[in-house]
Structure 1
Amino acid sequence: MSFDALSARHSRLYSALLLAGLVALPAQAQQATDSDQARTLQQVVVTGVRASGRTALESPVPIDVLTPDDLRAAGAVNGELGQALATLLPSFNFPRQSNSGGSDHVRAAQLRGLSPDQVLVLVNGKRFHTSALVNTDTKIGRGTTPVDFNAIPISAIKRIEVLRDGAGAQYGSDAIAGVVNIILDDAAEGGEVVTSYGANHTSFTPTDRTITDGQSSYGAAKFGTRLGETGFLRAGVEVTRHAATNRAGLDTVPGWLADPTPANLALRGQRNYTAGDPKSESYNGWLNSEVPLSANATLYWFGTYTRRHTIGSNYFRYPDSSANIASVYPAGYRPESLGHNRDVQTAAGVKGTAAEWSYDASLDWGGNAFDYDLRHSLNASLGADSPTAFHIGSYRFNQGSANLDGSREFAVGERALTLAVGGEFRRESFVTHPGDPSSYAVGPVLGAPAGAQAGGGLQPQDAANLSRHVKALYAEVSSDLTDHVFVDAATRYEHYSDFGGNWSGKLSGRWEFTPGFALRGAASNNLRAPALSQIGYESTSTGYGADGKLVTGRILSVNNPIARGLGAVPLTPEKARNLSLGLTARLGGGFDASLDIYQISIGNRVTLSQTIRSAGLENHILQQFGVPGVQSVAFFTNAVDTRTRGAELVGNYRTPLAGGQLLLTAAYSHNKTDIRKVRATPAQLTAIGADNVLFGDEERNTLTDAAPRQRGSFTARWDASRWSLLGRTIRQGATTRVFDFGGGYVPRQTYAARWQLDAEAEFHATPRLGLALGGYNLTNQYPTRSNDDINYAENFPYDVISPIGSNGAYWYGRVRYTF
C-alpha cells in the first residue's frame, strides 16, 4: 500500500473518531485531575531499566519525567512539542533556523549537545521513525534526517520520560545521547477540549519598529471510552496554525552583494529579506487503545498522524543580477519554499503473561513523506519562458519492525532477579524522486545559473532508492543485590545488512549509602549506523554561498564515482563509549535533587564535509568525469572523533502554601565537546588545491560551540483550587558562529548568554473550566547583534543559532475544558 493511500485512510479514520467522540460526549463526567505525584521525580518509570516499580530517583541513570501540565505551560500553546521540551530540559536544544532550507520545515533537536540523529525517540516504548527530508543548508543538524518532534501531538501525551544516558544495549542504534520515550494518554473515561491563541508583540531595534506577528492558534479535542471491563479507546485531534515572523533588517545593498546599478541601489533601506519562523498549518490525529482478549492477554493498537504545510523564505534575488530575468521580476524576487509533510506511525500487538513470563509481541510501522516545492522563483537559464513555481523533489522514509519481548522474575536467595530478553527485525527504506524538468534544466541563456533559484530540483541522476534490514537480540538482568545496592546489566547484538554485526553492552548500578542519599553510575558502548540518507542522498543546486556569490554545487553520495575520485570512502558506523556518575538526594517528601556528570567519546562521527571549492575543481571534474559546470561538491564522511563532557543538576522542592501547593524546580546543564582527531584531507583534493576541507572551521564550529554549552532554569509553580500560577526564568548560554568565506577570511562572533522570563496565570472558573493568560520572553530579550562581517549587509541582524531566538516577546491566552 502506498504512503498516500495509507495517509488518506488514516485521515478518514481520525475524522470518524472525532465525530464519534463529539456525538458521544457525556452530559456529566468526572473531571480529570492530575496527581501531584506526577509532577515529581518519584513517579514509577518504564524507560532505562526493565525491572518494575522503580522511580526516577531510584533509577541507576538520570531520567526526567514530564507531565501534560508541564507541557502546557512550556511552549505547547502553539503545538510545538520540541519547543516545550527545550523549555523544560536544559540539556535539550531546539534552535529556530531561518533561511535554512529543510530546517524551515523540520526543526532538529539536540540532547547533551550532540547531533540530532544521536538521540532515539520511542512512543509507548516502540521506535519512532525519523523524517525523510535531509537537512543540508542548515547549521545545527547539517547533514542529518532528524526525528520530527512536532509530528507527535501534544494532546496525546500522558507523560514523557527522557533518559539522559547511552542506551544502545537496551534499545539499539541511535541512543548515544539518550532516549525520549513518549507515553500516550490511556484514560478510559472523560476528555478535554483546549483552544489557545497568541502572537509575538515586540519592539524591534534594528528597524525601530513595534511588530506584531507570528499569530498562532491551537485547538485540540480528545475523549476516552471503555472497551469491555479493562479495555479502553483514547483518541483525539489537533489543529495548529502559525503565521510567519520577520526579523530582517534594512538592506544596505553593498557592492559585494549586488551590482551597484540604479535598480539594485533603489532597494537600499528596504526589508528585502525575511528572517524568522515559517508560516505553518498542521493537522494531527492520534489514538491509543487496548482490548482484553482473555484474563492473561491484551490486544493493543496506537498511532499518530500528522499533515503539515509550511512556507519558508530564501535569500532575495536583486533586479539586476544573473539570477533574474527583469521582464519576469522587474523589482527582484524572494523565493519561497513549500513543504508538504505527511507522517504516520502505528503499532499493534499482544501483551500478557504465560508460564510466569510477561511478553509483548508487536508490529510497528512508521513513515514520512515530504514533498518540496518552490514558488516566486525562476530558472534564469530558461529566460522569460521560465516557470515561477517548481516541484523540486520528493522524499520518502519508511521503517517497519517486528518485536518480541519477554521478562520474568526469578528468586535468587531472598532476592528477586529480573531477566528480560527479546528480539527485533527492522526494515528501513529511503527513496527520493526528481523534481520538475524545468527545476534543473540548463536553458539557452548563456551565463545565467541553471536550475530553480533557492534549491534546484533533484535530477534523475540524483534519485536514491536504498533499503536495509536489521536483526537484533538482547538480554538484560537486574536485581537488588542488597537492600541498598541495585545493579543492571544489558547486552545487545545487532546485524545490519549493510554494515555487519555489532555488540553493545551496558552496566549500571545504584548504591544508597545512607537513607535518602545514593550514588549511581553507568558505563556502556553504543553504536549509530549511518542513516540511509547519509549513504545515498544526492542533490544538485544553484544558490548563494556564504560569501554571497551564486554557486552551482552537488552533494554526492560516497558511492558516486566523482566523490570516489575526490577521495570519498564508504561510511562506517559511529561508535561511542559512555560513562556517567551521579548523586541523588531525597529529604522527606518535600525535596529531591540529582547531580550527574558524564563523558561521551564518539569515534568516526558522520558529518557532511565542508563545501569543497577550489580554482581547479570545476575543470578537474570536467576533465576526469565529463561533467561540466560543477563549482562545488560535498559528501558525507567519517571525518572526526569527539569527546563530550558535561554535568546536569535537577532539584525540586514542594511545600503547602496559602491553601495550595508550591513546587520549585531548578535545573542546569553544562557540556563541552572537544575535537580529538580529524581525518586528513584526501590527496586527490590537495592535488587540485582544496586543502583542509573535509572538516574545516565551519563544521568544527557546528560540533563544538554553535549550540549553547550552558543552559539553566528556575521554575516556581503554585496550584490551588481556583488559581494556578507559574513563573520561570531560563538562562540561555552563549553560542559562537564561524563562517569560512575562503581566502583566509573566517569571521567569528560569540553571542552572549541571555535571560528569559516566562509567566502564566490560570483561573479555574469551575472545576472543569480553566482560563489562562501568559507569555514567553516577557522582557523582550534578543541575541547579541551580529557584526558587519556576519549580518549579511544588515539583512540578518540576529543569527539563527541563539536558543532564545529572534522573535521577542510572545503573549497568549488559553481556554481548557475537561469532562
Structure 2
Amino acid sequence: MKHLLLGAALGALTAASAVAQSTDDVIVVTGTRAEGRTALESTAPVDVISAGTLENNGSTELNVALSYALPSFNFPQPAITDGTDHVRPATLRGLGPDQTLVLVNSRRRHASALVNLNGSVGRGSSAVDLNTIPVSAIGRVEVLRDGASAQYGSDAIAGVINVGLREAREGGQVTASFGQYATDIPLVDQPRSASDGDTTSLSGWVGLPLGAEGFLTLSAEYRDREPTNRAGPDTRQQYPSLPGGGLDPREQSFDRINHRFGLSASEALSLFANAGLPINADAELYGWASYQQRDGQGAGFYRRAQDSRNVPAIYPDGFLPYITTDVEDISVLGGVRGDWAEWGYDFSLGYGRNELGYGVENSVNTSMGANSPTSFDAGALIYDQLTANADFQRNYAVDAFAGPLSVAVGLEYRLESYEIEAGEEASYINGGVTGPNGEILATGSQVFPGFQPSNVIDEDRDSIAAYIDLETDVTDRFTVSAAARAESYSDFGETVTGKLAARYQLTDALALRGAVSNGFRAPSLQQAYFTSTSTVFTGTPPVPVEVGTFPATSPVAAALGGEPLEAEESLNISGGLVFAQGGFTLTVDAYAIDIDDRIVLSENLSGPDVEALLVNAGITNITSARFFINGVETETRGVDVVASYGFETADWGDFDLTFGANFTDTEVTDAPTSEVLPGVSLFARREIARFEVGQPENKLIGSVDWSRGPFAGYVRATRFGETVDPGTAADGSGDEVLSPKTIVDAEFSADITDGLNVAFGANNLFDEYPDVTAETPALDGTFSRIFPFSGFSPFGFSGRYVYGRIRYSW
C-alpha cells in the first residue's frame, strides 16, 4: 500500500506539471440520469473516448484501443488457452472481466457464451465480448470508474462501459488498413526475425435520412488476421528410437519450430445499424441491430511422432492440432422515448444471442486408430438474453435547492438462457482400438474432446428489478445523488443495493467528489451450469471414468462440498478531486472495493479421499472434478490519475498533452477450504496469486497529439508495471516475475485531398517483449523455451506492429 500511495503522489505531481489525459468537458449519460451533466461535473469519474481516438489506432479491436486509452483497463493476450484465445477477456481496476457492466446506448449488452476455464487472467469468468462491436459503429465510449449496481444492476462492481453508437443522417466514411508484425524475437536458443500476423481491415459507415428528421446509420467491418508464432525450438526427441537404440535419421531434418504460440487466426464480418425516427414533437422511435460472424483458429500442443496420442498411419511426423471457433453474435433492440406531461419516458425491448461453436482440425481420435477422422465438430455453447426496460424521469422544482431535483424510476425484466450442444460422436467416444501392448488409448478428439450427450443442458432464469435515482444541486456548489435498486432472481433470491454520491465545488477551479455504495454480481448461468467431461480409462481391467467440470448443483459437486451459487457482494468507497483551469484538467480518484463471496472455479480435486467421497455418494465413475464455488473475499485499493493540457502555437501547430495513471493493489483476505476434505484448499496459492499480482501493479500512459494544417500525428508511451505469472510453489519460487516495460506507439497522417486521408504508424515501435521465461533459472526447462513468453504479459508478446491506413470521408 505504501508503494501504491507513493506512486499516486508521483503521478499527481507529474500530471500537475503539464502532461495528462482526459477528454473534452462533454455531456455524459453514464452514472447520472440528470440532464446536462458534463464529465467534470459528475459525482464519479467518467472517461469519454471519442470515435477519433478509437479509429486512429493501429488495431481495429475495441479492447486493444481501450487498453491504450484507459490506464485502469487491461487486456492481456494469452495463447494456447482454448476458447480464450478467441474471446479474450478484459478487466477494469484489476477486478474480474465479469465485474464490469457493458451497455450499448445505456442498455445492457448480452454476454459471451464462453467460460474462461484455463490458466489466464479472468479464469472462471464469462464476460461481454467487446470485439463483437465494430469500431466504425461507435460514436464514443463512456467509462464510469465506480461501482454502480444501484443504478444499473448486476455486474457493475468495478464500473460501467457504455458504448454510444454513431448517429448520422448524412455523410459517411470508408477505411482500409493493412499491417503486420515485423519483429526480432529474443529467444534464448535461436533468436529469429518474423513478419507475420498480416491483418487486413475494411470498414465504413454511412448516414442516411429516415423521414424528415430521423436517421439511419449503417456500419460494416471486415477483419482478417493471420496468426503469429513466437514459439521457440522443440529440442525433444520426436521419433521412436530405432531397434538398435539409435535416433531416427528424420531427427536431423525435423523443423524444431513445431508449435504455434501467439495470436490466433481470426476472420470476422460485423454489421451494425442504428436508427432514430421522431413520430411527433414529443416522441421518438429508436433501435439498433447487429450481427457478427467470426471464425478463429488457435493451436494446441504438438503431438510428437512417438507420442502415444499419435496415430503414425495418419501422422508419421506427428501433428499440431488446432481448436477452431465459429462465433455468431446477434442483437436487436427497439424502443420509444419521449415526454408525457412533465415526465420523460423510455420503453425498450432488446434481445441478444451469442453462439460459440467448437471445432477441431488436424487432429485425431487416437482410440479410433487409422479410421479416425482428422477434423471434428466438438459442440457449441449458446447464451441469449431478453431484456425489457421502462424508465421514467422528471425534474421537480424545490425551493430549498439551487437546482431542480431529478427523479428517475424504472423497471427491468431480464430472461436469460444457456445451452450446451454435444459434438459429433467421434469427438468424444472411445473407438476401441488399443495400443501395441493392449493399453487403452486416448479418447476423443485430441486437443479438445467434444461435449458429450451427458454434458447437454438447456437452462434459463429470469429477474425483475426496480430502481429509484435522485440527483440535485443543493447549492450552486454542492451536488448530491442517491440511488437504490431492488432485484429478484428466480434462481438465487433477492438483493437490494444503494449508492450515495456528492460533489462540492471548493473554488472555481477545484472540486471534491466521492461516493459510497454496495453492489452485487449475480452468478452467471455459464458459471452455474457449465459442464464439460472427458472419458479416461483406469485400472486393470480398464474401466471408463469421467473427469472434468461439473455444475455446483450436481451430485458430484454436492458430494465434494459444493453448494448452489449465491451473488457476489461488494462495498465501494471512492473519493477524489477535479481541477480545471484554462486548457488544463486534472482528476485524482482513490477507491476501495471489498468483495465477498467471489465466484471462482475450484481446484481440480482428485485422489483416494475424493474417490471415497464420491463412492459413498453412489458415484463410481468419476475420479477428478472441479466446480464453481463462492467464498473468496478480496480487498482492492487503488488510485486513478487522469489529466490533459491543450495549447496552440502560431508556427508549430496545435498540441494536446495527455497523461493517465492507475495504481491498484488487490489482496485475497479469505479463501475457502473444503469442509469434507480436511486441509484441502478449494482455491489454492496459484489462483490467489492470479488475483493479487496477475495484473500490472501500475500502468501509466502519456501521449502528445499534434496537428498542423493537413498534417497530424501522435506519440504515446504506455508503461506497464510489474506483473507476475504465478506458479504452484507455496514459497513463490515458481513465479515468473515480469519486469516493467514501456511500449511506444506513433502515427503520422496527412490529408491528401478533400476527404482523403492517409496514415502510417507502428504499435510497439521499439519492438519490446516481456521478459523471456527461460532467462529465469528456476523456470528454465524444455517448455519454457518452447513457450518463451508469459500469457500474463499485459501487452502481449507479438512485438512491433507496423501499419498503413487510407480513409475517405464525405
Once the two structures are superposed, the pairs formed by residues 197-208 of structure 1 within 5 Å of their partners are: 197-206=178-187, 207-208=190-191
Letter in 2 for 1:614: G
What does residue 413 of structure 2 align with?
425
Partner of 2:745: 758
Matching residue of 2:723: 735
Question: Which amino acid is 1:159 matched to?
Answer: R
Aligned position for 1:514: 507
Q: How does 1:662-701 map to 2 (within 5 A)?
A: 662-683=655-676, 685-686=677-678, 691-701=679-689
Letter in 1 for 2:710: R
Q: Indicate the larger mover: 229-238 or 164-173.
A: 229-238
Q: Which of the numbers 763, 773, 790 marks the counterpart of 1:786? A: 773
Q: Indicate yes or no: 2:241 matched with 1:244.
A: no
- Corresponding residue for residue 4 of structure 2: none
d(CA) in 1 for partners of 2:772, 2:114: 31
CA distances 1:188-223 after superposition (whole Å, capped 9, x unpaired): 110001110000000112132110001001111211
- TM-superposed deviation, 1:737: 1.3
User: Cα offset for 1:745?
Assistant: 9.8
TM-fit CA distance, 1:730: 0.4
**CA distance change for structure 1 residues 675 and 735 in 2, over 3 Å: closer, same or farther?**
same
**C-alpha contact (below 8 Å) 2:290/2:332 kept by paired residues:** yes
Deviation of the 1:252 alpha carbon = 2.4
Count of residues in Structure 1 that have an aligned counterpart in Structure 2 = 764
Aligned: 1:192 with 2:173: yes
- Which among 214, 219, 232 is matched to residue 215 of structure 2? 232
Change (3 A) 1:426 1:258: farther
Q: What stretches of structure 1 of length at least 5 have no aligned partner? A: 1-37, 544-550
- 1:803 maps to 794
3-state SS in 2 of match to 1:564: helix
Equivalent residue for 2:63? Answer: 82
Q: Which residue of 1 aligns with 2:701?
A: 713
Deviation string 1:503-522 (CA, Å, 9 cap, x unpaired) is: 11000010011111000000
AA partner of residue 231 (structure 2): A
Partner of 1:813: 804
Q: What is the deviation of 1:149?
A: 0.8
Quote the Cα distance in structure 2 between the aligned partners of 1:73 and 1:541: 46
Letter in 1 for 2:175: V
Task: From the superposition, tell whether residues 356 and 660 of structure 1 become closer, same or farther in structure 2 (CA, over 3 Å).
Answer: farther
Contact 2:422 2:452 in 1 (8 A): yes
Q: 2:107 aligns with which of 123, 126, 131?
A: 126
Deviation per CA, 1:388-438, whole angstroms, max 9, x where unpaired? 111111111000111010101110015311100110111000001111111
**1: CA distance, partners of 2:609 / 2:49:** 55
* Distance (Å, rounded) in 2 between the aligned partners of 1:56 and 1:254: 61
> Is the Cα contact below 8 Å between 2:335 and 2:349 reproduced in 1?
yes
SS in 2 for 1:704: helix
Letter of the 1:92 counterpart: F
CA contact (8 A) 2:646 2:655 kept: yes
What is the deviation of 1:48?
A: 0.3
Q: Do the aligned partners of 2:171 and 2:207 also contact (CA within 8 Å) in 1?
A: yes
Supply the distance in 2 between the matched residues of 1:422 and 1:258 (Cα, whole angstroms).
72
Q: Quick one: structure 1 residues 626 and 170, their matched pair in 2 at CA, closer, same or farther if it must change by over 3 Å?
A: closer
Q: 2:293 aligned with 1:293, yes or no?
A: no
- 2:61 equivalent to 1:67: no
CA distance in 2: counterparts of 1:679 and 1:694, whole angstroms:
6
- The equivalent of 1:481 in structure 2 is 474
The 2-side partners of 1:115 and 1:262 are apart by 49
Match of 1:167 among 148, 169, 183: 148
Q: What is the CA–CA distance in structure 2 between the aligned matches of 1:448 and 1:693, rounded to whole Å?
A: 32
Instruction: Please tell me the residue identity of whatever aligns with 1:716.
Output: V
Distance 1:150 1:415 in 2: 41
Counterpart residue number, 1:365:
351
Over 3 Å counting, the alpha-carbon distance change for 1:741 and 1:675 in structure 2 is: closer
- Answer yes or no: is 1:402 the counterpart of 2:388: yes
1:651 to 643, 646, 659: 643
Range with greater deviation from structure 2 (445-454 or 387-396): 445-454
Give the equivalent residue in structure 2 for 1:457. 450
| Post-superposition offset of 1:262 | 4.0
2:55·2:136 contact (CA, 8 Å) conserved in 1?
no
Q: Compared with structure 1, are the counterparts of its residues 267 and 530 closer, same or farther at alpha carbon in structure 2 (3 Å cutoff)?
A: farther
**Does the CA-based 8 Å contact 2:75-2:795 persist in structure 1?**
no
* Greater Cα offset, 430-439 or 652-661: 652-661
Question: How big is the shift at 1:682?
Answer: 2.7
Contact 2:559–2:613 (8 Å) recurs in 1: no
How much does 1:53 deviate?
A: 0.8
Q: Please list the CA deviations of residues 339-378 of structure 1 after superposition, one character each: whole Å capped at 9, or x if unmatched.
A: 0001111110001101011111100111101100001112
Q: What letter matches 1:220 in structure 2?
A: S
CA distance in 2, matches of 1:226, 1:727: 38
**1:552, CA displacement in angstroms?**
7.1
**Residue of structure 2 aligned with 1:322, choices 298, 304, 308:** 308
1:209 aligns with 2:192: yes
Q: CA-to-partner distance for each residue in 1:646-698, whole Å, 9 max, x for gaps? A: 00000100000236321010000010110111122232x34xxxx53410122
- Provide the rounded CA distance (Å) in 2 between the counterparts of 1:250 and 1:90: 36
- In structure 2, how many angstroms separate the alpha carbons of the residues matched to 1:448 and 1:706? 37
Q: Which residue of 1 aligns with 2:85?
A: 104
Query: Is the 1:204–1:211 contact (alpha carbons within 8 Å) kept by the matching residues of 2?
Result: yes
**TM-score, length of structure 1 as denominator length:** 0.90
Partner of residue 497, structure 1:
490
Identify if the C-alpha distance between structure 1 residues 435 and 741 changes in structure 2 by more than 3 Å, giving closer, same or farther: farther
Instruction: Give the aligned partner of residue 566 of structure 2.
Output: 572
Deviations along 1:109-158, whole A, 9 cap, x unmatched? 10001110000000011100110122212411111111111100100011
Q: Distance in 2 between matches of 1:403 and 1:432?
A: 28
- 1:307 partnered with 2:282: no
SS in 2 for 1:670: strand
Give the structure 2 partner of residue 14 of structure 1: none
**1:642 — aligned with what?**
634
Query: What SS does the aligned partner of 2:150 have?
Result: helix
The letter of the residue matching 1:740 is T
1:575–1:745 Cα change, 3 Å:
closer
Distance (Å, rounded) in 2 between the aligned partners of 1:386 and 1:133: 28
Instruction: Name the CA distance, whole Å, in 2 between partners of 1:258 and 1:182.
Output: 59
Q: Which has the higher contact order (CA 8 A, sep 6+)?
A: 2
Q: Tell me what 1:21 maps to.
A: none
In structure 2, the gaps of 5 or more residues are 1-20, 537-544
- Quick one: distance in 1 between partners of 2:142 and 2:802? 28
CA contact (8 A) 1:251 1:793 kept: no
Deviations 1:747-777 (A, max 9, x none): 1121101011100000011231111010100
What does residue 539 of structure 1 align with? Answer: 532
Contact 1:41 1:57 in 2 (8 A): no
Label 1:542 to 1:88 Cα distance change in 2 as closer, same or farther (>3 A): farther
Match of 1:53 in 2: 36
Deviation string 1:252-299 (CA, Å, 9 cap, x unpaired) is 2289x9999946966887012111000110001111111111111101
C-alpha separation between the residues in 1 aligned to 2:398 and 2:231? 67
Counterpart amino acid of residue 649 in structure 1: V
Of 262-271 and 307-316, deviating more is: 262-271
**2:302 and 2:579 mapped to 1: Cα distance?**
55
The letter for the 1-side match of 2:765 is L
Alignment identity in percent? Answer: 38
Q: Which amino acid aligns with 2:306?
A: D
Matches within 5 A, 1:759-774: 759-774=746-761
Instruction: Return the alpha-carbon distance in structure 2 between the equivalents of residues 729 and 116 of structure 1.
Output: 25
Please tell me the residue identity of whatever aligns with 1:51: A
Amino acid at match of 2:99: Q
Quote the Cα distance in structure 1 between the aligned partners of 2:619 and 2:475: 71
Matched with 2:76 is 95
1:457 and 1:40 mapped to 2: Cα distance? Answer: 47
Instruction: Return the alpha-carbon distance in structure 2 between the equivalents of residues 258 and 126 of structure 1.
Output: 62
Q: Larger deviation: 167-176 or 373-382?
A: 373-382
Separation in 2, partners of 1:249, 1:601:
42
- Which whole-Å CA distance do the structure 1 matches of 2:241 and 2:386 have between them? 50
Any idea what SS the aligned residue of 2:31 has?
coil
**Partner SS for 1:166:** coil
